[in-house]
A and B are shown apart, each in its own frame.
Chain A
Amino acid sequence: MTHVPEIQGNRTEELVIEAREAQRERAPSRVARVGDHLKREWQLYVMLIPTVIWLLVFLYKPMYGLQIAFKDYSIFRGISGSPWIGLEHFQTLFNNDQFLRALKNTVIMSAYGLLFGFPVPILLAVMFNEILSPWYRKTAQTIVYLPHFISSVIIAGIVITAFSPSAGIVNTFLGWFGVDPIYFLTKPEWFRPIFIGTGIWQEAGFQSIVYLAAIAGISPTLYESAVVDGASRWQMIWKITIPSILPTIIIMLIIRIGNILEISFEMIILLYQPATYATGDVVNTFIYRQGIQGGQYDLAAAAGLFNAVMAFVLVISANTLSKRFSRTSLW
């Protein structure tokens, strides 16, 4: 077949114009089309409505309630009835040593958590991948995923028991080396290491799943050709595994940075006590104490809004940076 000439050059255009006109003639109006659509697809909307209503009532309505951060809120006047006072709460907050301390603690603990906690799941995933025995690997995975599914109350209970000055296993160990019992949970200098260590112990195994999946997606032929080329296991990790899962690592990093202010305060509430507020009190625990326990709803809401906006800005900027430098992004 040497050459297929163009067919019916002019007729094409004529037909398109004709067809468009025909369509215009027969096309129903927008309103009629929407009506038609609803008549046919109303069931879809019936399915969607409960979820939408739920979101509006339980997640979006509170966003409307956020305005109390700018109001002198009183329970009796209600959200809309309370008078506006502008940024007064924010001024109060930034003159409040407790809030500033909580902000500092949040950033410090998140940074440490990121620094020590982020690499561990990657390391674990790479190490799991190098295990040859499927049985050994599966057993180890099953065990290290487990703490993720255990409630923070129980984990805190275990920590409290293990670090207890009287009978705790940690002090028992230290006792063997002649160290006097330490009441760890009342010592500010020990709070952060215990909290971050607990977090890693609880979540690192489970977080490795994402990386393991990324590793599972690497074509085996890459490794096989590396073997033929004489690469060692160590070289394969650095030349194949890590580069292949880099996009996943970046995405997870963005998510972590975005959540940097959303520290798991539930665990902190369970572990801290007035003696360790100096190093352990974070923004959300501050909000909990001031707002829910202390009844200063407007001030606490202002602290929460500040936290949420900062977090949102962090996600957006982390994503933008990632888009620019690695062409990997969340959305």
Chain B
Amino acid sequence: MNKLHLYSRGDRLFVIVNMVLIGLFTLSTLYPFIYITSLSFSSGFEARAGNVILTPVGFTIEAYKRVLSEPMFWISYKNTFIYTIFGTITSLIFIIPGAYALSKPQLYGRRFWNLMVAFTMWFNAGLIPFFLNMRDLGLLDSYFGIIIGFAVNGFNIILLRNFFEAIPKSFEEAARMDGANEFQVLWKVFVPLSKPAIATVALFCIVSRWNGFFWAMVLLQDTEKVPLQVYLRQTIADLTDNEEFASSLMTSAYSFETVSAAIIVCSIIPILLIYPFMMKYFTKGILMGGVKE
């Protein structure tokens, strides 16, 4: 507010109104999360009666006990971790060397290879051919299928390629004169110099893996292999669509609303934990990728 006293009266009013409006928008973003959290800690009876507005009413952790005692919750949580960790590592193994090669002007057919990547950002064959392809490759219902099938993404390659291209050429040349081969140049020079960009790409992968739902639902039949999001979806769907099942959950301690809220809270927590890192890298990363082809 250091400059406010330099402002005219009209400008001061403008600044204050603006602050209030931003504050309202921010609160409206935050409120649903507060509401869900409060709901998850409220008693089933109060939740059903619609008494939860801002803070928990009839505080209880029964809903969490119910959620955490469900073996499927833990299995799907474990699966999500597997998909996220191995999926992200696989992505980086493909993307880092690929982006490096594409950033080199001496690469024969560089324009062609780059177009091959960029084209996938604007045109894709669609759900059905992709699904049939996965089926023909025998990748239905397998951990490996989910991990490999979504490893590469044109946007991430181009983001990293643009970053590599911006690294001064002399870094590479100096390493080359020192006797480094391509792999050493990449590993000992480019990767350390590109930590922010690689972190951004890794975070993109982590978030999309953690949140991935549709293809996991389509490709995985075996309930032992489904990730958290599919389990969550299944539970919420069961609770809303199946009155009988829902009413079986009705006790005074928890209701299907508080149970759903508890699962939602449990699955948001890991994202909240890495959110500070994302804030650090994402904003930069988004811009590095830019909208350049």
Contacts and interface: CB of A to CB of B under 8 A. Distances in A.
A47 B131 contact: no
A161 B233 contact: no
A99 interface: no
Contact of A291 (B4, B98, B128, B133): B128
B189 interface: no
A292 interface: yes
Contacts of A51: 94-95, 97-98, 101, 117, 152, 157
A131 B123 contact: no
B89 interface: no
Contact of B39 (A52, A161, A284): A161
Interface string A304-315: 110110011001
B287 A154 contact: no
Contacts of A292: 127-128, 131, 218
Nearest to B28: A201
Contacts of A136: 19, 22
Nearest to A304: B126
B61 to A, nearest CB: 18
A153 B257 contact: no
Interface stretch (A5-13, A53-61, A101-109, A111-119): A53-61
A51 B92 CA distance: 11
Nearest to A165: B50
B159 to A, nearest CB: 14
Contacts of A180: none
A66 B264 contact: no
Nearest to A227: B6
A24 B22 CA distance: 69
B275 A146 contact: yes
A16 interface: no
Q: Which bracket fits the contact residues of A?
A: 35 or more
Contacts of B133: 57-58, 61-62, 65
Interface string A49-80: 01110110111011101101000000000010
B209 to A, nearest CB: 10
A287 B261 contact: no
Interface in B37-87: 39, 47-50, 52-53
A62 B125 contact: yes
Contact of B268 (A66, A154, A251, A252): A154
B255 A167 contact: yes
Nearest to B95: A51
B267 interface: yes
Contacts of A300: 127-128
Interface of A: 34, 37, 41, 43-48, 50-52, 54-55, 57-59, 61-63, 65-66, 68, 79, 124, 127-128, 130-133, 136, 139-140, 142-147, 149-154, 156-158, 160-162, 164, 166-169, 171-172, 175, 201, 205, 209-210, 213, 232-234, 251-252, 255, 258, 266, 269-270, 273, 284, 287-288, 291-292, 297, 300-301, 304-305, 307-308, 311-312, 315, 330-331
10 contacts: A44-B104, A51-B98, A55-B117, A130-B18, A152-B213, A157-B264, A161-B260, A209-B287, A232-B11, A233-B11
Given A48-B101, A161-B36, 9 more contacts: A44-B182, A54-B152, A66-B129, A68-B128, A151-B210, A153-B213, A209-B287, A291-B128, A304-B129
User: 3 closest pairs, A vs B, by CB?
Assistant: A304-B126, A51-B98, A151-B211
Interface of B: 1-4, 7-8, 10-11, 14-15, 18-19, 21-23, 25-26, 28-30, 32-33, 35-36, 39, 47-50, 52-53, 93-95, 97-98, 100-102, 104, 106-108, 113, 116-117, 120, 122-133, 136-137, 148-149, 151-152, 157, 181-183, 186, 207, 210-214, 218, 229-230, 232-233, 236, 240-241, 255, 257, 260-261, 263-264, 267-268, 271, 275, 278-279, 282-283, 286-287, 291, 293
